[in-house]
Homo-oligomer: A and B are copies of this chain.
Amino acid sequence: MEGLSLKNPVFAAYMVCAALLVLKMAAMSWLTVYRMLRINGGMRNPEDANPGPANPRPRPGQLDPVDYVERIRRIHQNDQENLLPFLAIGWLYVLTSPSPTVALVLLYGYVLSRLLHFAANLSARPHEWRATLWTVGSLILIGMALTTLWAGLRA
């Protein structure tokens, strides 16, 4: 076990994946902002409907939910449900000394499945696409958690 060091290629891969997923989540925040600005609506805080530099001409209904914005919020929520547990278990899985090849496939496969899930969700593809891609990521997450559980119980 080479552990939590950049010299361990599996841990370096975890760092790359973690950074990509955190950037992906940060991008969802900015995409929500962009879409709210573009339609001048979809805000949630009552004070955001007051006049000000960011809202020079308030109009009624600016606080109503709009699917153009809500879709990004749902994607962001789905990221929180999935990516954050992945970030929490991924490095523990690395500490179980998995086969490097298997580990790299699982780590990068997870990131890829989530990017494709994002594309399917953003473009409102039929439910089955989203469900299939989500399932791939969920099974990788469960596999890593079971490996970690087993290693911890045997220790």
Task: Name A's B-contacting residues (CB within 8 A).
Answer: 1, 3-7, 9, 12-16, 18-20, 22-23, 25-26, 29-30, 33, 44-48, 50, 52-55, 67, 71, 74, 76, 80-82, 84-85, 87-89, 92, 95-96, 121, 124-128, 130-131, 138, 141-142, 145-146, 148-149, 151-153, 155
Contact = CB atoms under 8 A, between A and B. Distances in A.
Main secondary structure of the interface of A (DSSP, over half): helix
Contact of A3 (B5, B121, B130, B146): B5
A50 B88 CA distance: 35
B80 A23 contact: no
B85 A155 contact: no
Enumerate the 3 nearest inter-chain pairs by beta-carbon distance, A residue then B residue, closest first. A15-B152, A19-B149, A12-B155
A44 B130 CA distance: 13
A130 B76 CA distance: 20
Contact of A20 (B71, B141, B149): B149
Contacts of A71: 45
